[in-house]
Amino acid sequence: MEGRPIFIVAGVGTATGTGAAAAREFSRALNYRIALVARRLKDLQNIANEINAAGGEAFPFPLKAYTREEIVAVFQAVRKKWPDSRIKAALWNASQWSRIPFLDVKEEDIQKSVQINIVAAFAWSQEAIKAMLEPSQNQSTSDSQPGGTLLFTGASSSTRGAASFATFAAGKHGLRALSQSLAREFGKQGIHVAHVVIDGTILTKTVQRMFGGKKQVVQTPGETDDDENWLEDPTRRLDPASIAKAYVYLHLQDKSAWTLELDMRPAKVSRPQLSSQVWLMSYRNTFDDLHVILRIK
């Protein structure tokens, strides 16, 4: 008899964003075992302890960097930890975010975006799909049969490039193309691949620290917004818990009507920009394993 299904998520960060929320929801709603993957063991342990205290079963699988070798090792460790369970859902939530004026872009900036958003996502996808296609000794339930759900967290830049976002948009376009190709190649084998466009600001502790109390600069021409408390308005930012529920919804969809791309945004579509007085800021290792580089003039 096989154990409970596994949900594996890359990009958990400080445990206040999308990756951690998805881990909580797959545990709460589906009673899945949760494999938490990120670079900081302390943060992984904190969210694992929270899930375990709530009656779930979660375990941290830290890696030093999002390289193919590290990702392969993580999936091997998950199999060793729960040899009686199958990976039925996987979420790639790690990302390389950068906002750099195009003429200031360096080759290393491009390489970082490609490594996290494309190369590492390829390795993650290969390992997840191989795990989902592994034959099972028990075919009595749907959870024990080959197949599963592979999810990707996208962004506004997945579908359109904005000024100073060429590096980020190139990586996110590549991730979206990967998702589309995998959906068409592996759907017939029972693997539901879906790309989720997150078009807006996700409310996390880091976002609150960076933007809380600051006026929102609306990108839509002709609109203005002087409200410094815009993060408190649920119609103007996304809630990680709500995104997580959408991920569970995608995983539970009937095979007769799979969603291959889901576009989510708050009711009032707008995105914040930092003050023009900020010349160079680097927030690394503060988001859901989201490397952030800002060079704003």
Contact 45, 60 (CB under 8 A): yes
Q: What is the mean pLDDT of residues 77-100?
A: 94
Q: How far apart are CA 144 and CA 248, in angstroms?
A: 18
| CA dihedral sign of residues 176, 180, 182, 187 | positive
pLDDT of 162? 86
**Apex 190 CA angle, 184 and 196, nearest 5:** 60
Q: What is the mean pLDDT of residues 124-148?
A: 84
Q: How far apart are CA 107 and CA 22, in angstroms?
A: 33
Q: How far apart are CA 92 and CA 72, in angstroms?
A: 14
Identify the DSSP state of 165.
Answer: -
Of residues 190 and 234, more confidence is placed in 190
Q: What is the mean pLDDT of residues 246-263?
A: 97
Contact 22, 50 (CB under 8 A): no
Distance, first Cα to last Cα, the chain: 60
Of residues 135 and 71, more confidence is placed in 71
Report whether pLDDT(270) > 60: no
Beta bridge partners of residue 280, listed in sequence order:
295
pLDDT of 139? 58
Kind plus residue range of the DSSP H or E element containing 110: helix 107-114
Q: How far apart are CA 266 and CA 201, in angstroms?
A: 8
pLDDT of 227? 65
Q: Is the pTM of this model over 0.75?
A: yes
